[in-house]
Amino acid sequence: MTTVPGAFAPPARVLLGPGPSDVHPRVLAALAAPLVGHLDPVFVAMMEEVKSLLRFVFATENALTIPISGTGSAGMEACVVNLVEPGDEVVVGVNGVFGTRLAEVATRAGATVTRVEAPWGRVVRAEQVEAALRNCRQPKLVALIHAETSTGAWQPLEDAARLAHDHGALFLADCVTSLAGAPVEIDRWGIDAAYSGTQKCLSCPPGLSPITFGPRAVEALRRRKTPVQSWYLDLTLLERYWGEERVYHHTAPISMNYALREALRLVAEEGLAARFARHRANHEALAAGLASLGLAFASEEGHRLPMLNAVTVPDGMDEARVRRRLLDAHGIEIGGGLGPMKGRVWRIGLMGESSRRAHVLLLLSALEDALRAEGHRVAAGAALAAAQAAYAA
């Protein structure tokens, strides 16, 4: 018999990284509710509530709006493999880790992929998308990352969606980080398909990926000549479980669906407009504080995400040591850079429950301490004063 480890007792962290974000106690409590079966009428009724709450946050009437069992990447893969058939032409905006990943997923699905590139931290321009579409014979899909979590860039979607339709293509948006933190208007912007994740601005643990498919996307699904490459993510099978028929496909992660329902209830109680305003106000106060610490944003001015702040590490500073001090001495997690931005940026998330005034002030004071420990000259209390002034404005 091996020795049994003691009960796991994670420390209470303040989660200010690129996800997961802090989870409300009501969502944690929902996870501890008794299990029912995945075909129990009580669970089936709950599934309908989850679908309807998801339609509310996505601002859509789309009937095919469901949580995929898996994290945000499963939602990405689900959208791509259900819409794309081998040989299809796909245009993907690539300006960070997630656009790169989406292009890779589409390539693996057999698509001929055109990468529309922008420097990391900047957004893809509509003219670039248009030029790429003109070079296609019969484009099937245009895909963009609404909130590029690796760089903090906030990508406009409406013009690209219109251009996609003008060229007879569908438009897919990655809304993993934006959903419930900034406006995502599926129907009004003409987005045919979108996916998200639970652990960013929805403030739920990771594990489900809400997706929505509009009429044009559903039609493309019906007209496929080949079966969907992934059996697990095949929406023609999943819609029979999540729709009227309730045919077993895989066992829904029961507790995660309880948690998502509760997280969505919290979003609806707050209201989308109030939630977006809160994310923006906390971002602006953080930005004011960071400026007074002499820190600059790595993302393009005018296209900075409110929920993900990518900050340039001062020259010569050991960024990992700063993060370590924030974690060990202050209990705060922030993120480091990915890919070409590794070692060069910090990623500060103010997502969902994590987006609070108390967190902004706590982080700025902890950052002042950690930067001073690295020999960076900072005026005592200046960052807090700047943030407080931003809140008062």
Residue number with CB closer to ligand PLP (197 or 214): 197
For residues 234 and 385, the answer to whether their CB atoms sit within 8 Å is no
One residue of 77, 89, 130, 174 binding ligand PLP per CB under 6 A: 174
One residue of 197, 335, 349, 352 binding ligand PLP per CB under 6 A: 197
The contact mask relative to ligand PLP for 277-316 (x = CB under 6 A, - = no) is ----------------------------------------
Is 182 a residue that touches ligand PLP (CB under 6 A)?
no
Dist. CA 332–CA 274, nearest whole Å: 26
Dist. CA 327–CA 350, nearest whole Å: 16
Is 149 a residue that touches ligand PLP (CB under 6 A)?
yes
3-state secondary structure (DSSP) of residue 133: helix
Q: Which two tokens stand for residue 302?
A: 């005018």
One residue of 14, 17, 19, 335 binding ligand PLP per CB under 6 A: 19
Beta-strand relationship, 64-69 and 14-15: unpaired
Q: Which two tokens stand for residue 56?
A: 């509310």
Residue number with CB closer to ligand PLP (114 or 196): 196
One residue of 21, 151, 177, 212 binding ligand PLP per CB under 6 A: 177
Q: Which two tokens stand for residue 37?
A: 């079966």
Q: Tell me if the bond preceding 20 is cis, omega within 30° of 0.
A: yes
Residue number with CB closer to ligand PLP (174 or 262): 174
Is 73 a residue that touches ligand PLP (CB under 6 A)?
yes
Q: Which two tokens stand for residue 199?
A: 């652990």
Is 190 a residue that touches ligand PLP (CB under 6 A)?
no
CA distances from 203 to 22, 90, 176, 256, 283 (A): 6, 32, 12, 12, 17
Kindly state the smallest distance separating residue 150's Cβ from ligand PLP, in Å.
8
Binding segment for ligand PLP (CB under 6 A), chosen from 72-80, 226-234, 275-283, 341-349, is 72-80
Dist. CA 265–CA 54, nearest whole Å: 10
Residue number with CB closer to ligand PLP (203 or 388): 203
- The site for ligand PLP, by CB under 6 A, has a size of 14
Dist. CA 338–CA 26, nearest whole Å: 32
Q: Which residues bind ligand PLP (CB under 6 A)?
A: 19, 71-73, 76, 98, 145, 147, 149, 174, 176-177, 197, 206
